[in-house]
Chain A
Amino acid sequence: MKSSKVNTPNQAVLSNNKSLGKRIYKYRWFYIMFLPVFIMFIIFNYIPMIGIAYSFFEYTPFKDPTFIGLENFQTLFSSKRFWLSFRNTITISLLNLILSMIFSVGLAIMLDDLIGKRFKKISQTILYIPHFLSWVVVASLFTMFLSPQGGVVNNIIEIFGGEPIYFLADEKWWTPVFLLINRWKETGWSTIIFIAALSGVDQEMYEAAKIDGATRIQRIRNITLPAIKGTILVVFILNLAKILNIFEPVLVLYNSQVYNVADVISTWVYRAGLEGGDYGLSTAAGLFKSVISVTLVYITNIWSKKVNGEGVL
């Protein structure tokens, strides 16, 4: 390490003029350290991108890939099931996003505004717990509680003289129950960012408003909400860009009886590709989803620049 012995700021500028070979040699240990990570990124992220080409092939476990042009996309776009899953993805994700914003902003304001320090700490601790439980655990819990045979919810319904309802296998009930379970798991954790934003609101504004005789509701409407408007928008935009990605929660909570309302693009791809073995068609569906997702990211980024002065990318 002779060259780096005297590394004054002047030297740093000079080193830019050194030949590329010398500079690479100087950083040789960094390249060696990073090499394994680099290989992992190539294998797990970049080689699969080449595999997107399978969308233009007929490819199953028993048949070598044969080029068929756009036929997979034609099959896809004429498939009623696929469009149904597309519609379900949008419906479920959008409802989930809107409910998430309302509940987490509301809860954050109440937590910030209402209660003593110690109560606030304890309640935050409790509210964050469900976020860290895996979707498998959450699905198991609710499958047991909502079961028509001896599940606690149906026990209560029967005590009041009602008929047991198979919540997770009934098309009428599945979406509301799914949204509710999502709120149970994620509402607490999604307040975290709003609580951070609220702690930055100038307390003197509240004092001044109080002296001026503003009611609590007026203070929330005129001080709190405008102060965190930017954060609300950024969170909304970031999540909007991800709405097509919904997968694991649906996978562990749906079943064949509710495909009509519960099947989303990702679960459709999973079944067509890994259970049905139609690699070509499912890759095409995945590509369709990715392209829309990337477009959404770009649109929301432009939107964010407009409202917020800076992009989220």
Chain B
Amino acid sequence: MKDRFSFKPGYRLRACYLIFAFTFLTLFMIAMIIPVIKIVVDSVDPTATGITLWPKEFDFSAYEYIAKSTSLYRPLLVSVVTTLVGTVVGLLVVTVSAYVLIQKEMPGRGIVSKMIMFTMLFNGGLIPTYLTIQNIGLGNTYAAVILPLTLSAYNIILMKSFFDSIPTALFESAQIDGCTPMGIFAKLVLPLSKPALASIGLFIAVTMWNNFFNFQIYITDPLKQNFQVMLRNIILMDAATGTPATAGFTSEMLKSAIIVIVVAPFLVIYPFVQKYFVKGVTVGAVKG
């Protein structure tokens, strides 16, 4: 295709389309990536103004400050721990529910299925949910911020569709070999659905890491807050009040460094796990 961008009569429209599409795509990608680069540069370069793609100086004092200041690194630890625990609990909830839903002859399976699906259609709403959690004494506990997020009907349907593809003959032969339902679950079902576990587990992990609202409304103790809430509070505070004058870095640097720390774990693993994210969505789409 030598004449791809030819402006000879008859090719003009195609050339225009190609140039437009190429420019549009490139601009779009630049727009996606510039903010991320800028924030990294801003976090180490006190002189950064405008759009710089490489820092003029390197100054890691904002990061050092975060590492030394309890009120800043504690929320990070909270985020890490709640993400790990939340992902494990979330996967357990999803896999157990899906495992129960594929038991075609189990009495009550239909009711369980309806009970799970109904939550996709209707819920009590913000205030009744908040009051329920407060009234049963879960206010200011990590159970209140983690557990509601693990109950995802969508993820359960997704996992069930993966389990459905396991041949029934495998279950039968395991049963004949004397395996208990739990044994089948742990030794057969889970190992066979590793790609699904990776895919759904990653989505749950992102949800847990990005958990802001539940922390905001249920956690009243500032020492138990996570990193997202702390970032939000620092951004909301005026630049002047937020930063210690003696620390030797600008408030822009501190804010940027905090954003970099929130985003970094994801950006590091993302290129290796992207295919699982895509898979999770497209399988769901096909199954409706």
Interface residues of A (CB under 8 A from B): 1, 4-7, 12, 15-16, 20, 23-24, 27, 29-31, 33-34, 37-38, 40-41, 43-52, 54, 107, 110-111, 113-115, 123, 125-130, 132-137, 139-145, 149-150, 152, 155-156, 184, 187-188, 192-193, 196, 215-217, 248, 251-252, 266, 269-270, 273-274, 279, 282-283, 286-287, 289-290, 294, 297, 310, 312-313
Nearest CB in chain B: distance from A176 CB, A: 15
Contact mask for chain B residues 13-36; partner A; CB cutoff 8 A; 1 contact, 0 none: 110011001101100110111011
In the complex, which residue of chain B has the Cβ closest to the Cβ of A21?
Answer: B107
Asked if residues A144 and B255 are in contact (CB atoms below 8 Å), the reply is yes
Q: Point out the residues of chain A lying under 8 angstroms from B209, CB to CB.
A: 134
- The answer to whether A216 and B17 touch (CB under 8 A), given A193-B281, A269-B125, is yes
Which residues 229-260 in B have Cβ within 8 Å of A in the complex? 229, 231-232, 235, 239, 252, 255-256, 259
Asked if residues A184 and B127 are in contact (CB atoms below 8 Å), the reply is no
Asked if residues A290 and B228 are in contact (CB atoms below 8 Å), the reply is no
How long is the Cα–Cα vector from A62 to B108 in the complex, in angstroms?
A: 42
10 contacts between A and B (CB under 8 A): A15-B105, A34-B100, A41-B116, A111-B25, A113-B21, A144-B252, A273-B126, A273-B127, A286-B128, A310-B288
Q: Point out the residues of chain A lying under 8 angstroms from B268, CB to CB.
A: none
Contact of A132 among B100, B212, B266, B278 (CB under 8 A): B266
Q: Does B217 contact A (CB under 8 A)?
A: yes
Q: Point out the residues of chain A lying under 8 angstroms from B235, CB to CB.
A: 139-140, 143-144
Asked if residues B106 and A137 are in contact (CB atoms below 8 Å), the reply is no
Asked if residues B176 and A150 are in contact (CB atoms below 8 Å), the reply is no
Nearest CB in chain B: distance from A222 CB, A: 15
Nearest CB in chain B: distance from A107 CB, A: 7
Asked if residues B29 and A123 are in contact (CB atoms below 8 Å), the reply is yes
Q: Point out the residues of chain B lying under 8 angstroms from A156, CB to CB.
A: 50
- The answer to whether A47 and B132 touch (CB under 8 A), given A40-B147, A110-B24, A294-B122, is yes
Contact mask for chain B residues 248-284; partner A; CB cutoff 8 A; 1 contact, 0 none: 0000100110010011001100110010011001100
Further pairs besides A184-B31, A252-B212: 12, Cβ < 8 Å: A1-B180, A5-B176, A6-B176, A29-B182, A48-B124, A132-B206, A134-B228, A140-B231, A269-B127, A273-B126, A279-B127, A312-B288
Q: Point out the residues of chain A lying under 8 angstroms from B266, CB to CB.
A: 132-133
How long is the Cα–Cα vector from A23 to B231 in the complex, in angstroms?
A: 53
Please report the total number of B residues contacting A with Cβ < 8 Å.
90
- The answer to whether A51 and B97 touch (CB under 8 A), given A4-B175, A144-B252, A193-B282, is no
Contact mask for chain B residues 115-139; partner A; CB cutoff 8 A; 1 contact, 0 none: 1100101111111111111001000
Q: Does B198 contact A (CB under 8 A)?
A: no
Q: Does B148 contact A (CB under 8 A)?
A: yes
Asked if residues A44 and B130 are in contact (CB atoms below 8 Å), the reply is no
Q: Does B155 contact A (CB under 8 A)?
A: no
Asked if residues A283 and B36 are in contact (CB atoms below 8 Å), the reply is no
Asked if residues B150 and A40 are in contact (CB atoms below 8 Å), the reply is yes
How long is the Cα–Cα vector from A45 to B147 in the complex, in angstroms?
A: 11
In the complex, which residue of chain A has the Cβ closest to the Cβ of B256?
Answer: A144
Q: Point out the residues of chain B lying under 8 angstroms from A286, CB to CB.
A: 125-128
Q: Point out the residues of chain B lying under 8 angstroms from A111, CB to CB.
A: 25
Interface hub of B50, B128, B150, B209 (most chain A Cβ within 10 A) = B128
**Which 3 pairs of residues, A with B, have the shortest CB-CB distance?**
A48-B124, A51-B128, A286-B125
Q: Point out the residues of chain B lying under 8 angstroms from A313, CB to CB.
A: 121
Q: Point out the residues of chain A lying under 8 angstroms from B128, CB to CB.
A: 48-52, 54, 283, 286
Asked if residues B180 and A34 are in contact (CB atoms below 8 Å), the reply is no
- The answer to whether A196 and B285 touch (CB under 8 A), given A34-B100, A37-B97, is yes
In the complex, which residue of chain B has the Cβ closest to the Cβ of A288?
Answer: B125
Q: Does B172 contact A (CB under 8 A)?
A: yes
Q: Does B39 contact A (CB under 8 A)?
A: yes
Nearest CB in chain A: distance from B170 CB, A: 13
Q: Does B213 contact A (CB under 8 A)?
A: yes
- The answer to whether A269 and B126 touch (CB under 8 A), given A150-B49, A152-B51, is yes
Asked if residues B129 and A7 are in contact (CB atoms below 8 Å), the reply is no
How long is the Cα–Cα vector from A69 to B231 in the complex, in angstroms?
A: 42
Contact of B210 among A27, A129, A134 (CB under 8 A): A134
Asked if residues B32 and A127 are in contact (CB atoms below 8 Å), the reply is yes
